[in-house]
């Protein structure tokens, strides 16, 4: 068990426990605490709301309770096809990339096969994706580099990954996390917005948000943190209008943009109960 995980069970419960009606005294305290935070967060205007360690813990425990093994949405069959898919996903939707790579990965799932296919053919395969000409060039060039410098394997370190054509920090983080199980935080548009909107990891740049996230995410939740946040931002805490009624962390969220509901959504109650169950000794 990690050091973070051994920390104050009491405070973990106080931040994240809710109960169905009739509420227990502990649940009432928890709800009152969350409710009490609301006006403060609004009154704090533009400053990022502050969260206690226990509240942050509760947020990630709720995400875990709702989706213990979150998965990325880019189809791939190995580390190489994952790398290519992430390179292709810049300024494109995952669904659009998956559509284009379905056939491409059937005929070229290794750097050698991709190189043999050649730039013109790769370009044809991915022409439905934005910036496809440049992306085809990068995919073939990175395949060449994987063969010449890494024995045809995808390297497991950031520096080597970022040296590949078309690969930036975010792409490297996704590959390190999904293919190699490293607890990296890949900051995409959703995660960047979420870090700032709810204020758990504010920052002016994606790197600021990444660093802030690394500091606050409990170590035992770090591997899946970026998936949870990306999916939460994509489907619930959406850019134009967050769907707070469907939010598992509603009572914990201190965003000034939070919709003022009359009651905490049932899904938040359910996940708080699930977390409380998991925290029971022997669970
Ligand atoms: S309560 Fe609303 S604003 Fe806060 S995280 Fe949930 S969806 Fe986003």
What is the atom index within ligand 1 of the atom nearest the CA of 246?
A: 7
pLDDT band at 210 (very low <50, low <70, confident <90, very high): very high
SS3 labels along the chain? CCCHHHCCHHHHHHHHCCCCCCCCHHHHHHHHHHHHHHHHHHHCCCCCCCCCHHHHHHHHHHHHHHCCCCCCCCCCCCHHHHHHHHHHCCCCCHHHHHHHHHHHHHHCCCHHHHHHHCHHHHHHHCCCCCCHHHHHHHHHHHHHHHHHHHCCCCCCCHHHHHCCCCCCHHHHHHHHHHCCCCCCCCCCHHHHHHHHHCCCCCCCCHHHHHHHHHHHCCHHHHHHHHHHHHHHHHHCCCCCCCCHHHCCCCCCCCCCCCCCCCCCCHHHHHHHHHHHHHHCCCC
User: What would the pLDDT profile of 215-228 be if each residue is shown by its tens digit?
Assistant: 999 999 999 999 99
Q: Is the CB of 70 under 6 A from ligand 1?
A: no
The CATH number of the structural domain formed by 79-178 is 1.10.340.30
Q: Is the CB of 244 under 6 A from ligand 1?
A: yes
Average pLDDT (18-38) is: 43
Q: Is the CB of 249 under 6 A from ligand 1?
A: yes
For the chain, the structural domain boundaries read 4-70+187-279, 79-178
Q: Whose CA is nearest to atom 3 of ligand 1?
A: 258
Instruction: Enumerate the known binding-site residues for [4Fe-4S] cluster.
Output: 237, 244, 247, 253
Q: Is the CB of 41 under 6 A from ligand 1?
A: no
Question: Can the peptide bond before residue 22 be classed as cis, meaning omega within 30 degrees of 0?
Answer: yes
Test site for ligand 1: of 51, 196, 198, 199, most ligand atoms within 8 A of the Cβ? 198
What is the atom index within ligand 1 of the atom nearest the CA of 258?
A: 3
Lowest mean pLDDT among 46-55, 62-71, 100-109, 184-193: 46-55
pLDDT band at 244 (very low <50, low <70, confident <90, very high): very high
Query: What is 4-70+187-279's CATH topology?
Result: Endonuclease Iii, domain 2 (1.10.1670)
Q: In whole angstroms, give the CA distance from residue 243 to residue 265.
A: 11
Cα(194) to centroid(ligand 1), Å? 9
Give residue 251's Cα distance to chain centre. 20
Q: What local confidence, expressed as pLDDT, does residue 16 receive?
A: 57
Is a pLDDT exceeding 50 seen at residue 203? yes
Test site for ligand 1: of 192, 250, 265, most ligand atoms within 8 A of the Cβ? 250
pLDDT band at 67 (very low <50, low <70, confident <90, very high): very high
Q: Whose CA is nearest to atom 8 of ligand 1?
A: 237
- Which is higher by pLDDT, 257 or 1? 257
The chain-wide mean pLDDT, for the chain, equals 87
Average pLDDT (129-153) is: 97
Cα(26) to centroid(ligand 1), Å? 23
Q: Residues 27, 16: contact at Cβ < 8 Å?
A: no
Q: Residues 106, 125: contact at Cβ < 8 Å?
A: no
Q: Is the CB of 236 under 6 A from ligand 1?
A: yes
User: CA separation (Å) from 127 to 96, 119, 165, 200, 283?
Assistant: 11, 12, 19, 39, 51
Q: Is the CB of 252 under 6 A from ligand 1?
A: no
Q: What local confidence, expressed as pLDDT, does residue 281 receive?
A: 77
Tell me which residues are annotated as active site. 170, 188
């Amino acid at each position: 068990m990690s050091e973070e995980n051994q920390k104050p069970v009491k405070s973990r419960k106080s931040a994240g426990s809710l109960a169905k009606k009739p509420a227990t005294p502990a649940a009432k305290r928890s709800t009152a605490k969350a409710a009490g935070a609301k006006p403060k967060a609004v009154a704090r205007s533009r400053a990022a709301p502050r969260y206690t360690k226990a509240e942050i813990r509760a947020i990630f425990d709720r995400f875990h309770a709702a989706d213990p093994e979150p998965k990325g949405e880019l189809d791939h069959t190995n580390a190489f096809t994952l790398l290519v898919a992430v390179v292709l996903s810049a300024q494109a939707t995952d669904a659009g990339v998956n559509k284009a790579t379905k056939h491409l990965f059937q005929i070229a799932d290794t750097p050698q096969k991709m190189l043999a296919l050649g730039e013109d053919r790769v370009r044809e395969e991915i022409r439905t994706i934005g910036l496809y000409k440049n992306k085809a060039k990068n995919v073939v060039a990175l395949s060449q580099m994987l063969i010449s410098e890494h024995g045809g394997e995808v390297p497991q370190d950031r520096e080597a990954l970022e040296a590949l054509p078309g690969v930036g920090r975010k792409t490297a983080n996704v590959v390190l996390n999904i293919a190699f199980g490293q607890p990296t935080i890949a900051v995409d548009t959703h995660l960047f917005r979420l870090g700032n909107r709810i204020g758990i990891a504010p920052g002016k740049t994606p790197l600021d948000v990444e660093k802030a996230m690394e500091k606050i995410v409990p170590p035992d939740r770090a591997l899946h943190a970026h998936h949870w946040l990306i999916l939460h931002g994509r489907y619930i805490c959406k850019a134009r209008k967050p769907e707070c009624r469907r939010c598992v962390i509603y009572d914990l969220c201190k965003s000034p943009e939070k919709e003022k509901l009359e009651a905490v959504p049932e899904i938040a109650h359910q996940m708080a109960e699930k977390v409380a169950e998991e925290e029971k000794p022997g669970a």
